[in-house]
Amino acid sequence: MSPQLEALPYEIQQFILEYLDATHPASLTALACASKNLFATVKPFLFRTIRFSVKDIRDYNRIQPDRISIAVQEYSKLLKHYNSAEYVQNLIIGGDISEYDYRERGLRSQNGDFGPYHWKQSKISHVDRLTLASADGEVCDEPDPVRHMSRADYSKPDACYNDNPAWKPLAEFIKMLPGLKHLVYNYFSQFPPCLLEVLHNNLPGCKLHLYTFSMRSVPLLDDYETKLITSPCLTSIRIVCKVDTRRGTDFELGHPADHAMRHAIVLAPALNRVHIDVCRGGGARRIFLEPRIIPTTVCPSAPKSLDVRNSLHSLRLRFVISANRELVKRWTARIDFSKLKVLGLTGNINADTLDYMGSSYQFPSLRSLFIRYTLHDSAWVSGESLKRFLDRLPPLLSLTVSFSRSGLDVDGIAKHHGAALRRLTINNPHLNEYDLKCLAKYCPHLEYLKLGLKRTWGDANEIALYKALGSIPRLVDLDLSLNAPDRNLRGTDAPDFSDDDRFDKFHRKYCTLRSGFRDEHTEYIKNGYVRDQLMNCALDKDLACAIFRAISAGKPKDIGRE
């Protein structure tokens, strides 16, 4: 196969390699081992992203200088051996290496202790790829590209200076990377001064993404944090804000830095992407009066008026606690929504807050929206509230909706946004044939679709769903999740099919299922129900081919490609 691949035009080769890099990196590595010519072609993809994990489970809020220096030495040897330093475009500085990571890679020494840090532990994960895609301004269909919340601490301002010597080997290493475009920092402490200096002096075009953003020198910013916030490299930040949810506190912010970070949005000249996690906490650190943090007093280049707003490209709000109007106002007071192109809303956002955002803010430039309610959070909003919010937005190019309750108005979404819609993700277990036909009717340019469908043993209703998918005229990429609910196994309302011909004497008998930590839960289910459920869940090559044929059968005969 490799000679055939090598004979393809360069553009097609690049398309194939990009696809492998995004979907199955292991295949990309295997392809590079096929021949010297293929290795030369694949090499830019193999070394495009490097990840440093600089802290493991033995270290608690401290950094070990030897881990950074050893990792830098290993990477330097690797890049020099393959002459690949010019291909490095993304550098991710991560935080923890968990005990699971050590065990998974078999890195325990013979005496049972963990071995020294080694560069091979730096593994580019799916979350890393989502992070880079989002940082680069690409459409990201997953609402939360960073798996966990930021773990930024409120350490003393001089802590970053104390740790600065440990980071200098990495600063020298970065000087060797002329093609570096993105530096993603996801370590718990403040961004090191030596790394910022290297970016300013050697790589002014590199974009800096701080996913543990915090201001530690409040109430007055020191010179370094002022320099960091006003850096022309600072492109995106992720903030964790802890609020006091105790009765009588009116959701007050838990730390002076949380107040200051609201003003950072107008201080950063190149900032275009902000991700804010609002969670519970800060009771012990609560302050009763907002400190007098005026940007003009801490930064000469700051705007002269607090009414100045930042024209962000992307805003993501994740509420772990219930989001009320005042909480939303607090974090959006410095944002110009008229220029916003990407908006993400995740978590506990009730109907009143959603109505407030839809009626109070204008989104004329919005092109991409992802709104995500978990099964628990869906109880706080109705399908009608969600419909009103979506109807107030301009027609979108990309839309992701995760809503577990019934009542999602797919018909309304298709009618309002369908003319412009290119990418659509729907996470809802109640989709039916009519919903899919609405997508086919009102979304003539839809190219990417991700959704889940309920399996019903391959009956006529299930086949109709696949044919309806095939009728979407321009659909190119379909990400389909098959759901097999166990409604016939549990519950007093489950229909009784045990009288039909498929249930013989054995299938009418009950089997015993035990669950729980000590098997304390016992259920009695008919063998026939268990059989049917296993059949409904099974997925093999033949079924996948049958689904593909059913989807293809729904495609109109006269459809063409532009």
What is the pLDDT, as a whole number, of residue 434?
96
Higher pLDDT, 98 or 86: 86
Q: Does 534 map to a domain?
A: yes
Match 């020298």 to its residue by tokens. 172
Mean pLDDT of 204-225: 82
Q: Does 5 map to a domain?
A: yes
Q: What is the pLDDT of residues 235-245, one digit of tens each?
A: 999 888 777 66
Q: Does 19 map to a domain?
A: yes
User: Does residue 413 carry a pLDDT above 60?
Assistant: yes
Q: In terms of residue numbers, what domain contains 4? A: 1-46
**Of the given ranges (254-258, 301-305, 310-314, 377-381), which has the lowest mean pLDDT?**
301-305
Residue 140 carries which side chain, given as an amino acid letter? Answer: C
Give kind and range of the element (H or E) at residue 182. Answer: strand 182-185
Whether the predicted model's global pTM rises above the 0.95 cut? no
Cα gap 412→385, rounded to integer Å: 13
Q: Is the peptide bond before 219 cis (omega within 30 degrees of 0)?
A: yes
Match 């696809």 to its residue by tokens. 19
What is the pLDDT, as a whole number, of residue 541?
93
Residue closest to 400 by CA, chosen among 132, 150, 145, 128: 145
Q: Does 522 map to a domain?
A: yes
Residue closest to 167 by CA, chosen among 50, 58, 72: 72
How much is the mean pLDDT over the chain?
A: 78
Q: Does 353 map to a domain?
A: no
Q: Does 512 map to a domain?
A: yes
Cα gap 67→52, rounded to integer Å: 10
Q: Does 461 map to a domain?
A: no
Residue closest to 176 by CA, chosen among 91, 297, 302: 91
Residues 6+ apart with CB under 8 A from 550: 463, 466, 467, 470
Is residue 320 a contact partner of residue 244, using CB atoms and an 8 Å limit? no
Tell me how many domains the chain contains. Answer: 2
Q: What is the pLDDT of residues 104-138, one digit of tens each?
A: 333 343 333 333 333 343 455 555 555 565 555 55
| DSSP 8-state class, residue 339 | G
Match 């790829």 to its residue by tokens. 129
Helices 10-23 and 36-46: angle between axes, nearest 10 degrees: 60
Q: What is the pLDDT of residues 522-551, one digit of tens each?
A: 777 888 888 888 888 888 999 999 999 999
Is residue 177 a contact partner of residue 88, using CB atoms and an 8 Å limit? yes
What are the residue ranges of helices labelled H in 443-492?
A: 460-470
How many H helices and E strands in the chain? 21, 16
Mean pLDDT of 21-27: 83
Q: Does 27 map to a domain?
A: yes
pLDDT-derived band at 447, boundaries 50, 70, 90: very high
User: Does residue 358 carry a pLDDT above 80?
Assistant: yes
Q: What is the pLDDT of residues 393-403, one digit of tens each?
A: 999 999 999 88
Residue closest to 255 by CA, chosen among 267, 266, 241: 241
Is residue 447 a contact partner of residue 476, using CB atoms and an 8 Å limit? yes
User: Does residue 290 carry a pLDDT above 60?
Assistant: no
Residue closest to 509 by CA, chosen among 531, 490, 488: 531
Cα gap 243→321, rounded to integer Å: 9
* Strand-strand pairing, 90-97 and 252-253: unpaired
